[in-house]
Amino acid sequence: MKNKKIIIDPITRIEGHLRIEVEVDENNVVQEAWASGQLFRGIEMILKDRDPRDAGLLAGRICGVCTSSHFRGAVTSVEDAYKIAVPKNAEIIRDLMAMALFIQDHVVHFYHLHALDYVDVTSALEADPKRTSKEAHKYHPKPFRNSHSHYEETLKKLDNFIKSGKLGPFSNGYWGHEAYKLSPEQNLIMLSHYLEALKFQTKISKAVAIFGGKTPHPQSIVVGGVTSVADMLNPQRLNDYLFIIKDAQEFIERAYLPDAKLLAIAYRDEIKAGVGRANGNFMSVGGYEFEGERRLFCNGVIYNHDFENIEDFDASKIIEEVDRAWYDGDTAEQEIKYTDLNKDGSLKTVKNDDKYSWIKAPRYNGSTMETGPLARVLISYTKKNPLIMSFVDEFLEATNLELLDLSSSVGRNVARAIESSYICEYIFKLVSRLLQNIKYYDTQTWTKYDFSRVKTEVEGKAFLEVPRGTLAHLIKIKDAKIKNYSVIAPTTWNATPKNFDSKRGAYEEALIGLKIQDLTKPLEVLKVIHSFDPCLACAVHVIEVKGKEFSRYKITPLLM
Ligand code: NI
């Protein structure tokens, strides 16, 4: 029998526009996969010829979710180009904003973007509140909001919601699919936390806004430092921030981490079968000062799950290719060329094995890489980072899993929950360091600079670990104007198309060998892709190394 192709376009519950196409054999097992970024944005083109001081605010608009990551990345790249030393307090304030974003991103991803691939809403309606409360105790001694009455109330809410007929986020689910493994009680626990996480989302955003002025798109990071000096010196503001983090920590400890345990135990067979495992190449640039030389995340590169031989990260080993992305020319001279239309201008419904994505193909030392919380946790743990060891050991022991098991769809969620947990600890450390500086009258938050007279061409780079993985901002400046700008975002790595080398990226590799029970309800595919926390808005970028003008491009509307 001939192989069949199925197309999921768009993948929902992600940021941006992603199309996934898979080819399955007669047993519905995935033989080949194509991940395609469907949105062209071109923020780099907007940045060209601008004042470098504006880079942060403009680059922040790359994404409505990862705003402060790009904001900081852009500003840091300008500071690197002009060798501007940023005061310690400014770095701490930037870190406090970044860490709050990590927690926000991870929790929102787990509950609101991904949980419904594991949680069957309709099954939760059959749960018994008393048994639910007992079940929750298996994963934490003091589960979050675990009273019978709370579960009864949650059931009532759900019932009213369903009766209203306006299902909102619960519409179009593959309810009743046999890939759902949780009991009604386990489903109710997760759904209760799904609703609680909506409140969490609002609160944690305020933590970013305390030092950012607002969120998304904070305003307070400037070349040379931060502007939120009044907030830093106001004990009430610091207290507000800490109060939110303490609340967040309670939710993470008593709901998020236990829920990750619940999933890891219930979906053990999937984990042991390596469902969602990519090629085992992981990359992290590390970062965030903890104490002296010690960093919150270690840098490193792992090939093919070889945990024994970790290499140090080396930025010079990164290249970006475009063979199978919708650009023409070599890396130095690229023209935008959309090739996936039929002659009549309509979108091709079945993929040709040539150009198929707006996402470029970054390679590290010639290999595709997975980046993100899983990469960070595996690298930091294997490099014996004492900050993370106990969190990972405790989790693996409680769930009777091994380190390699984390290289799976469920494992990516586990990595996020573990990361959130130890980031909370790190935040308290950061705040006490800030208070210490202020106590000794070190209140500087900005370094004065003047680069208007620098006429030579300068280059700057910023490599940062951000919630979804490794982010690079690369800038060239001449005569105080941006000459060229380039971004390689975490999703650019994970969702990379194939290249002349035909090597699959992490999304594509993770889908190979996946068994799909029902081709009309490809829940298994969604689960694998969602586990990466895709951000397609971030992933699509254009570079123009020589500073030559881009060709014009025309968007052909798709008339249905
Ligand atoms: Ni993003």
Ligand 1 geometric centre to CA of 467 (Å): 9
Question: What pLDDT sits at residue 560?
Answer: 28
Ligand 1 geometric centre to CA of 62 (Å): 7
Ligand 1 geometric centre to CA of 419 (Å): 19
Ligand 1 geometric centre to CA of 215 (Å): 14
Is pLDDT above 70 for 509? yes
Mean pLDDT of the chain: 91
Question: What pLDDT sits at residue 252?
Answer: 98
User: Rounded distance, CA 20 to CA 36, Å?
Assistant: 6
Place 344 in a pLDDT band, splitting at 50, 70 and 90: confident
Question: What pLDDT sits at residue 185?
Answer: 98
- Number of Cβ within a 10 Å radius of residue 539: 31
**Mean pLDDT of the region 115-129:** 95
Ligand 1 geometric centre to CA of 158 (Å): 31
**Mean pLDDT of the region 58-82:** 95
Is pLDDT above 80 for 445? yes
Ligand 1 geometric centre to CA of 444 (Å): 31
Question: What pLDDT sits at residue 352?
Answer: 58
Ligand 1 geometric centre to CA of 43 (Å): 13
Please say whether the dihedral angle defined by the alpha carbons of residues 156, 159, 163 and 169, taken in this order, is positive or negative: positive
Question: What pLDDT sits at residue 553?
Answer: 36
Ligand 1 geometric centre to CA of 140 (Å): 32
Place 245 in a pLDDT band, splitting at 50, 70 and 90: very high
Ligand 1 geometric centre to CA of 169 (Å): 21
Pick from 384, 370, 403: nearest CA to 284 = 370
Ligand 1 geometric centre to CA of 109 (Å): 12
Q: What is each CA distance from 487 to 33, 188, 373, 395, 463, in whole angstroms?
A: 25, 41, 20, 35, 10
**Mean pLDDT of the region 534-556:** 53
Q: At a CB cut-off of 8 Å and minimum separation 6, what does 272 contact?
A: 405
Place 43 in a pLDDT band, splitting at 50, 70 and 90: confident
Ligand 1 geometric centre to CA of 349 (Å): 27
Question: What pLDDT sits at residue 271?
Answer: 98
Question: What pLDDT sits at residue 60?
Answer: 93
Question: What pLDDT sits at residue 437?
Answer: 94
Q: Which class for 384: exposed (0-12), middle (13-18), buried (19 or more C-beta within 10 A)?
A: exposed
Lowest mean pLDDT among 83-87, 121-125, 462-466: 121-125
Give helix 409-439 / helix 386-399 axis angle, nearest 10°: 150
Please state whether beta strands 318-321 and 225-226 pair in parallel, antiparallel, or not at all (unpaired).
unpaired
Question: What pLDDT sits at residue 559?
Answer: 31
Ligand 1 geometric centre to CA of 56 (Å): 15
Ligand 1 geometric centre to CA of 361 (Å): 17
User: Rounded distance, CA 67 to CA 60, Å?
Assistant: 5
Pick from 202, 199, 226: nearest CA to 96 = 226
Ligand 1 geometric centre to CA of 416 (Å): 16
Edge to edge, the sheet with strand 469-478 lists 458-466, 469-478, 481-488
Place 337 in a pLDDT band, splitting at 50, 70 and 90: low
Question: What pLDDT sits at residue 334?
Answer: 58
Helix (H, G, I), strand (E, B) or coil at 471: strand
Ligand 1 geometric centre to CA of 69 (Å): 8
Ligand 1 geometric centre to CA of 175 (Å): 29
Place 475 in a pLDDT band, splitting at 50, 70 and 90: very high
Is pLDDT above 80 for 555? no
Is pLDDT above 80 for 522? yes
Question: What pLDDT sits at residue 446?
Answer: 96
**Mean pLDDT of the region 241-268:** 98
Are 245 and 428 within 8 A, CB to CB? yes
Q: Which contiguous run of DSSP H or E holds residue 327?
A: strand 327-328
Q: Which contiguous run of DSSP H or E holds residue 297?
A: strand 294-302
Ligand 1 geometric centre to CA of 470 (Å): 12
Ligand 1 geometric centre to CA of 537 (Å): 6
Give helix 257-266 / helix 386-399 axis angle, nearest 10°: 40
Share of residues in the chain with pLDDT > 70 (%): 92
Q: What is the 3 state secondary structure string of 244-256?
A: HHHHHHHHHHHHH
Ligand 1 geometric centre to CA of 42 (Å): 14
Ligand 1 geometric centre to CA of 230 (Å): 29
Q: What is each CA distance from 295 to 95, 99, 190, 444, in whole angstroms?
A: 13, 14, 33, 23
Ligand 1 geometric centre to CA of 112 (Å): 16
